[in-house]
Amino acid sequence: VTTETQATAAASGAGATARFREDKHVAVTTSQERVSALAGRIIKAINDTVIDEKVTYDEYNALKAWLIRVGEDGEWPLFLDVWVEHSVEEVANVNRHGSKGTIEGPYYIPNAPVQNTPASLPMRDDEPGTPLLFQGQVKNVAGQPLPGALIELWHADDLGFYSQFAPGLPEWNLRGSVIADAEGKFQANTIQPAPYQIPTDGACGALIAAAGWHAWRPAHLHLKVSAPGHQLITTQLYFQGDEHVADDIASAVKPELILAPTDRGDGNGREVTYDFILDPE
Ligand code: MBD
Ligand code: FE
């Protein structure tokens, strides 16, 4: 059988690399001066480390072998999103007044199936995990509702796997786009995601093992929230009580992003309300 338990770092890495190439057509408008300044600083930081730490030829060759393997495993998206994207996001959103954003990560897929609220994310008949009703309202910074807001939601399943990046899952499993109502309100029925371990059998996993780190991210919902005339927010929401909230390998948790769902009382899982405030364009 093919199930997500046969997921490999190389397969999810190849998927993330292909996804990046398809979606992120970045026009390179960076000036020579800027490229020279940035590349110069990064190269200097590496050289300073070599000198300060008295890096040996064995260590230099281990680095070279590892960098080659990152590419072979398709793990440049994973490496960069886990260890660098949080700083890029911090810089990008420093002037925002509305809800906090955080990193996108490597597993977003655009154009997931669209539903009007109240929605249920596509899932298997026997989808494992506690049902979760995620609901809220999208507003502007003045507190006015934003009709026609779009809530894109994607997350891992109960075993920590993302559809389209692990084998054996339906194409759009646990990925959906919800159109809010005339008051900007939305309801999305899904399941509670599990804590997520980044692939341990690829180059990033080898680094984590060699350094004695851990590979965990707290359980999280990924979101992109948008409305006409407003800045799109890319964010993630986490769950109170998850031990990795304080210890995320990707450094992407902020206190404002932690949910505390409550029991629905009808034996039907849990629910939580979270409102999004969008900045004007
Ligand atoms: C993830 O699911 C994720 O959200 C990030 C940032 C990195 C790796 C896997
Ligand atoms: Fe994720």
Amino acid identity for residue 277 in this structure: I
Q: What is the pLDDT of residue 23?
A: 80
Q: What is the pLDDT of residue 228?
A: 96
Of the pLDDT bands very low, low, confident and very high (cuts 50, 70, 90), residue 1 is: very low
* Nearest ligand to the CA atom of 197: 1
CA angle 169, 128, 117 (to 5 degrees): 80
- 96 alpha carbon, distance to own chain's centre: 19
Q: What is the pLDDT of residue 267?
A: 81
pLDDT tens, 217-230?
Answer: 999 999 999 999 99
The verdict on the CB of residue 253 being under 6 Å from ligand 1 is no
| pLDDT higher than 60, residue 113 | yes
Higher-confidence residue of 30 and 60: namely 60
Closest ligand 1 atom to the C-alpha of 105? 6
pLDDT tens, 265-274?
Answer: 888 899 999 9
Which of 83, 217, 224 best tests ligand 1's pocket when mutated (most atoms within 8 Å of CB)? 217
pLDDT tens, 252-263?
Answer: 999 999 999 999
pLDDT tens, 230-242?
Answer: 999 999 999 999 9
The region of weakest confidence among 27-36, 100-109, 230-239 is 27-36
Q: What is the pLDDT of residue 235?
A: 98
The verdict on the CB of residue 105 being under 6 Å from ligand 1 is yes
CA of 182 to the centre of ligand 1 (A): 33
The model carries a pTM of 0.94
Q: What is the pLDDT of residue 6?
A: 72
Q: What is the pLDDT of residue 12?
A: 85
Say how far apart CA 239 and CA 76 lie, in whole Å: 28
In contact, 268 and 260? CB cutoff 8 Å: no
CA quadruple 70, 11, 177, 101: dihedral, nearest 10: -20
| pLDDT higher than 90, residue 5 | no
CA of 35 to the centre of ligand 1 (A): 28
Average confidence (pLDDT) over 116-131: 97
Residue environment code for 154-190, b if the CB has 16+ CB neighbours within 10 A, otherwise e? bbbbebbbbbbbbeebeebbbbbbbebbeebbbbbbb
Residue 156 DSSP SS3: coil
In contact, 130 and 191? CB cutoff 8 Å: yes
Higher-confidence residue of 24 and 261: namely 261
| pLDDT higher than 60, residue 3 | no
The verdict on the CB of residue 103 being under 6 Å from ligand 1 is yes
The verdict on the CB of residue 250 being under 6 Å from ligand 1 is yes
Say how far apart CA 119 and CA 231 lie, in whole Å: 23
Q: What is the pLDDT of residue 2?
A: 47
Say how far apart CA 26 and CA 179 lie, in whole Å: 28
The verdict on the CB of residue 217 being under 6 Å from ligand 1 is yes
pLDDT tens, 146-156?
Answer: 999 999 999 99
The verdict on the CB of residue 204 being under 6 Å from ligand 1 is no
Average confidence (pLDDT) over 93-109: 97
Closest ligand 1 atom to the C-alpha of 222? 4
